Amino acid sequence: MNERTLFPLINKLARCHQLTEAEYAQLIRFRTPETAARLAALARTAREAVYGTEVYTRGLIEVSNFCRNDCYYCGIRRSNQNCDRYRLSDEDILACCAEGYRLGFRTFVLQGGEDGAFSVPRVCRLLRAIKSDYPDCAVTLSLGEMERADYQALYNAGADRYLLRHETADPDHYAALHPAALSFDHRIQCLRDLKDIGYQVGCGFLVGSPGQTPELLAKDLKFVEEFQPAMCGIGPFIPQQDTPLRDEAPGTAELTVYLLSILRLIQPNLLLPATTALGTIQPNGRELGLAAGANVVMPNLSPLSVRKKYALYDGKICTGEEGAQCVGCLQGRVASVGYTLVSSRGDIRTI
C-alpha cells in the first residue's frame, strides 16, 4: 500500500462524498505527506466553492465548570478535587454577550459542564434575554445531555444550535472513555432528538484518544457521513494531569488536520472549527486546520477571572488574553492562510 493506491480513493471521496468504513480506515492507516497534501488541496477547493474565503467566528462563553459527569479524559470531571469550581451569573453572561457584540460576534456559544444550577427555566430566561437584546445573533448551547422535552423547551425559548460531541462512534471505545453511568445510546439519542427538533446540530470526536485505531476513526467518519450534522468539532486528545488518562499519549495535529480535510470532502458545507485544542497541541495548529478545510474559529469570551479554571486539558491556550486580544490574534492567523474573519451569524449554507 502506498499513496498511489490511495489516490483513486481520494478522488472517489471528492466525487461521491462517501467511502466504505474499510476505505476510510485505509486512507488513515496508510496516509503519507503526499496523501495529506492532496486531500488538503481538494478540501480547500471544496470549502471555497461553498464558503469562499470567509471564516466564521463564534464567541465561546464557558458558563460553569461544575459537572455531574466523570469522563475519564476531562479536567472538569466530578472527581477532580483540584478543579477550582465556578459558575457565571446571568449578569456575567449578559456582560460577555455585550462585549462580544461590540467585538463583532453574531453567534454566542454558552458551554458548560452538566451543572444542575443551569436549570432549564433559567437557561430559557437567559435565552430570551439574549435574543431580545441581540435579535440578529444566533445562540448555541453546549450543556450536555438532556431529555427531549428539555431540548424542546430551550429551542422554543430561542436556542438556534446545539453542540454535543459524540466523542467516538464506537460503543466499546465510548465505554472505555466514560464511566458506566454515561451511555453511548443515550448520547446518540440526544443528537437525533436535537436534529429532529430543528436545531442546527454539532457533533464531534476526540482524535488520538487512548486505544483509538484507524478502524475506530473510520466509524466516526461514517457516522458524520450518515448523520449530516451542521457542524463537526474535532480536536486532539490532550492529557489532563488530574484525570485517569494523565499518562496517555496525546493526539497529533497532523492526524487532526488530515481528518479535517476528509470531513470537508464528506460534507462540503460542513461547519468545521479549527479548535483551541488543535492550537494547543501545536502553535500553528489552527492555521494548518484552516488551510486544510476548516472554516470556523471559536475564540474565548469568558471573563478573564475564570479562564484558567475551565481546564479541560493541560496547557490550554488563550487563558490569559482578553476577548479583544483573541479576536486580533485570530484575525492575523486567519489572514496568514489567505482567509478573512467575518462578522456574521455564520449559518450553514445549503448548496
Q: What does the binding site for ligand FES look like in residue numbers (CB under 6 A)?
A: 299, 318, 321, 325-326, 329-330
**Cα 320 from chain centre:** 21
Alpha helices (H) in 134-213, listed in sequence order: 148-156, 171-177, 184-197
Query: In what helix (H) or strand (E) does residue 140 lie, and over which residues does it extend?
Result: strand 138-142
Virtual CA dihedral for 246, 248, 249, 253, nearest 10 degrees?
-60
Q: Work out whether 165 is an interface residue with ligand 5AD (CB under 6 A).
A: yes
Which one-letter amino acid corresponds to residue 134? Y
Q: Which stretch binds ligand 5AD (CB under 6 A): 11-19, 87-95, 236-244, 258-266?
A: 236-244
Q: Work out whether 318 is an interface residue with ligand 5AD (CB under 6 A).
A: no
Helix (H) and strand (E) counts for the chain? 14, 9
Q: Work out whether 66 is an interface residue with ligand 5AD (CB under 6 A).
A: no
Q: Which stretch binds ligand 5AD (CB under 6 A): 12-20, 169-177, 230-238, 287-295?
A: 230-238
CB of 54 to ligand 5AD, least distance (A): 25
Q: Work out whether 238 is an interface residue with ligand 5AD (CB under 6 A).
A: yes
- Joined together, the cell numbers standing for residue 302 give 469568558
DSSP track, 200-262? EEEEEEEES-TT--HHHHHHHHHHHHHH--SEEEEEE----TTSTTTTSPPP-HHHHHHHHHH
The interface mask with ligand 5AD, positions 117-156, x = CB under 6 A, is: ----------------------------------------
Those residues with Cβ within 8 angstroms of residue 245's Cβ, 6 or more apart along the chain or in another chain: 72, 73, 210, 237, 239
> Which residue among 62, 115, 145, 167 contacts ligand 5AD (CB under 6 A)?
167
Q: Residue 326 binds what, of ligand FES, ligand 5AD, none (CB under 5 to 8 Å, by partner type)? A: ligand FES
Can you tell me the distance from the alpha carbon of 232 to that of 272, in angstroms, rounded to the nearest whole number?
Answer: 6
CB of 290 to ligand FES, least distance (A): 12
**DSSP-derived secondary structure letter, 167:** B
CB of 280 to ligand 5AD, least distance (A): 8
Q: Work out whether 83 is an interface residue with ligand 5AD (CB under 6 A).
A: no
Q: Which stretch binds ligand 5AD (CB under 6 A): 44-52, 234-242, 262-270, 334-342?
A: 234-242
CB of 93 to ligand FES, least distance (A): 20
Longest pairwise C-alpha distance within the chain:
58
Q: Work out whether 72 is an interface residue with ligand 5AD (CB under 6 A).
A: no
CB of 143 to ligand 5AD, least distance (A): 11
- Joined together, the cell numbers standing for residue 250 give 496525546
Q: Work out whether 240 is an interface residue with ligand 5AD (CB under 6 A).
A: yes
